[in-house]
Amino acid sequence: MKLRRTIAALTATALAVGIAGCSSSDADESKVTLNAGQLGQAKVVEALLTAAGQDDGRDYDIVWNLFEAGPPAIEAIPSGAVDVVMMADTPMIFAQAGGVEASIVAVGLGTPAGASQVEIVVKGDSPITNINDLVGKKVAITEGTTLQYSFIRMLEAAGLSYEDINPVNLSLPDAVTALENGDVDAASLLDPQRARVVAQGGRVVANADGLVPDANITVASHAALEDPAKAAAIGDFVQRVDAAYQWAEANQDRWADEYAKLTGLEPEIAADVVARQWYERVAIDDSVIADQQTQADVFTTLGLLPVQLDVTAQFDDRYNDSVAVNTAAQS
């Protein structure tokens, strides 16, 4: 498994005092409601916080909103419908290019060694056996997401280019349907869709292990960050999510049971998904920013992003001091 880079243990005192200099004297969280976004077809983050006991004792309310993918969640930020949301890192590149006023405030990395969040899957009876066989083939991707970027990096690693394949822009659910119906030859998939297709006989022909950081980011709107009470609540939210993922890693069987109930997945598929979940929160530093810059530059070089970005502007490191393993969450 990837080396953990978590940099300090979170103490009860740190939780009580809070972060980013927001104390009870300058931020009253009791009057705060956070509009929190979740991606996918089930409210997994909300359920994880509850299962891990991290939804208790909050001084603020959370209204959860479900989005199919990162781009529509980003689009909801200007209206105030989203204050904070977790997603993969790619949508923030296009958000910056589009002038969306939001920042990355937390970053988590990783999947188990030998795997990646995104994998290229074909039907079980497909003649395709590796990424080189995809030349000239239709591949379902979701534009502006890690499903697209990870695939681009896989192609590059094989000495191929994006122009060598025929990308078909589809949502994740539609990509699965298109693959099953034979409308595309392969699909770039994330869990739980990846796990379900593989369990039904699909085959993985490529992944992005070692090619992308597999970053999961927490994005907050500038409007929320400029409100002291909301900023304090977001800091607490980030810590709770961190602790919840630590709990999930230490209690995979319990979390897999809850995940299966939530998603309707068969227990063995849920167990596969949970075993591949790996959230290692890291500080926002030069290496994290460099990874994001590399990604932006790839999109610009391919003509998929119309501007050259300096992605430093995407990041707000005010919560770096709270990067830690919450050992209490593992009890």
Each of the 331 residues of the chain gets a pLDDT tens digit; together they read 332 333 233 223 233 333 334 443 455 656 899 999 999 888 999 999 999 999 999 999 999 999 999 999 999 999 999 999 999 999 999 999 999 999 999 999 877 666 789 999 999 999 999 999 999 999 999 999 999 999 999 999 999 999 999 999 999 999 999 999 999 999 999 999 999 999 999 999 999 998 999 899 999 999 999 999 999 999 999 999 999 999 999 999 999 999 999 999 999 999 999 988 878 899 999 999 999 999 999 999 999 999 999 999 999 999 999 986 443 343 3
Strand-pair partners of 66: 38
- Residue of 100, 34, 35, 92 lying closest to 65 (CA atoms): 35
CA 325 vs CA 4, 164, 243, 246, 282: distances in Å: 10, 43, 7, 7, 10
Q: Where in the chain is the domain with CATH 3.40.190.10?
A: 12-110+214-330, 119-207
CATH topology of domain 119-207: D-Maltodextrin-Binding Protein; domain 2 (3.40.190)
CATH topology of domain 12-110+214-330: D-Maltodextrin-Binding Protein; domain 2 (3.40.190)
Strand-pair partners of 103: 220
| pTM as predicted | 0.85
pLDDT at 220: 98
pLDDT at 41: 83
Please name the residue that has the structure tokens 């050259």: 308
pLDDT at 331: 39
